Amino acid sequence: MSRNGALMLLVSAVVLLLAPYFIESKFYLDVLTLIFFTAYIGQSWNVLGGYAGQFSFGGVMFFGTGAYASTILLTTFGVPPIIGIFAAIFAGASLGFIVGYMSFRSGLRGSYFALITLAFAELLRVLANSVEFTGGGVGLFLTYAPGLHNIQFDSPVGFYYFSLLLLTISILIALWLERSRFGAQLAAIRENQDAAEALGIDTLRCKIYAIMIMGGMGGAAGTFYAQKYLYLDPPIAYSISLSVEMLLVTIVGGMGTVFGPLIGAFVLHIVNEITRHFIDTPGLSLIVYGVILVVIISYLPNGLMGLFKSRSKASDDGGLGPDETGGTSKDA
């Protein structure tokens, strides 16, 4: 990373760490917590979708499974969530392994893979509804007992810092992907799987590792969510809207970039809050929100991060236009 980038990162880290001392409003702290949470879970989607190019529509399955794992451990066996969160990570990663092994081994790519993940998430929702140990449709209630061991806090500041911790970890993972062999292998798979395979990359293994990382991250998010909202039922645990939200923030922010999910989460939450605040007619705010989404996606195919990138790329590629088109048509 460039020096300027490192400096900016340091400044924003300090600002975010000190934010609770300046922001008095519980509401705004809560909004920030939610933004960080969304950015975190967006980043989990980004590992598989952005870096490895394998789109999933059912990312929520890891969130829900992690949430159930730690919550059931807590309510049935009294395991504190600070340990349960690791069980949640394990559960998410294991589910990632199962789904990844089954679908990538049989060669599912593109929309077929996306749909199979959606099917898995729906399957789990139905299952969670019908078995006993999840509490079925009634759901599971958690008791409120603040303390770090419970990942519960008596003020929004605690949740703010915990979500900031999750966000930091997710950004470190993305930074690692940017500069590691594994990250390069995922990018190769995203750009051209056959060529990646020809160059010695075990594409199946790499994709399974990527979905396991996504699963582990999603699992931890589930624990955090359950401890914050103290209630879990199948429609929450396996909601399609969270699956959509995690890919939306990443696509709007910029897929395969370190800060795409965070920027996307910021912008979408702020747009959402503003439209809700200023527009009173019921439903209209959603329409405006949708229109803004359409505009962003159609004019910024590389997301908001593309605004920065395309400018620097344009200066690199100057003057290559004719050659480029000639090359493509001849080669294709």
Partner 1 sequence: MGGLAQMKLVGPPKMLDVRGITKRFGGLVAVSSVDLSVSEGEIVSLIGPNGAGKTTLFAIIAGFLTPDEGEVTLNSSSINGLKPHKICQRGMVRTFQITQPFSGLTTLENIMVGAYANTTDYNIARSDAERVAEMVGMSSQLDKSADGLTVAGRKRLELARALATNPKLLLLDEVMAGLNPTEIDEVVKIIKNIRDSGVTIFLIEHVMKAVINLSDRTYVLNDGTLIAQGTPHSVASDPMVIEAYLGHGAAETMKDRAQK
Residue ranges that bind partner 1, judged by CB under 8 A: 179-181, 184-185, 187-188, 190-192, 194-203, 256, 313, 316-317, 320, 323-324, 326-328, 330-332
Q: Which is nearer to partner 1, 55 or 120 (CB)?
A: 55
User: For residues 137 and 327, which CB has a smaller minimum distance to partner 1 in the complex?
Assistant: 327
The answer to whether the CB of 235 falls within 8 A of the CB of 137 is no
Beta carbon of residue 327, minimum distance to partner 1 (angstroms, whole number):
5
Phi then psi for residue 309, to 5 deg, are -70, -45
DSSP track, 99-156: HHHHHHHTT--HHHHHHHHHHHHHHHHHHHHHSTTTTGGG-EE-----BGGGTB-SSH
Which CB, 227 or 257, lies closer to partner 1?
257
- How many angstroms separate the CA atoms of 216 and 236, rounded? 19
Closest distance of CB 198 from partner 1, Å: 5
Question: Among residues 130 and 192, whose Cβ is nearest to partner 1?
Answer: 192
Number of neighbouring beta carbons within 10 Å of residue 140: 21
CB 120 within 8 A of CB 58: yes
Q: In whole angstroms, how far apart are CA 127 and each of 24, 34, 61, 116, 239?
A: 43, 28, 12, 16, 13
In the complex with partner 1, which residue's Cβ is closer, 179 or 277?
Answer: 179
Tokens matching residue 15: 């600002």
Q: How far is the CB of 208 from partner 1 (least distance, A)?
A: 14
Q: Could you tell me where the beta strands, DSSP code E, fall in 140-206?
A: 140-141
Compute the chain's Rg from CA coordinates: 21
Taking the complex as a whole, how short is the minimal distance between the CB of residue 50 and partner 1, in angstroms?
A: 11
Residue number, 229 or 324, with CB nearest to partner 1: 324
Q: By C-beta, is 157 or 187 nearer to partner 1?
A: 187
> Shortest gap between Cβ of 56 and partner 1 (angstroms)?
20
Least distance in Å: CB of 305 to partner 1?
A: 13
d(CA 225, CA 247): 18
CB of 203 to partner 1, least distance (A): 7
> What is the Cα–Cα distance from 107 to 113, expressed in whole angstroms?
9
Structure tokens at 185: 């292998």
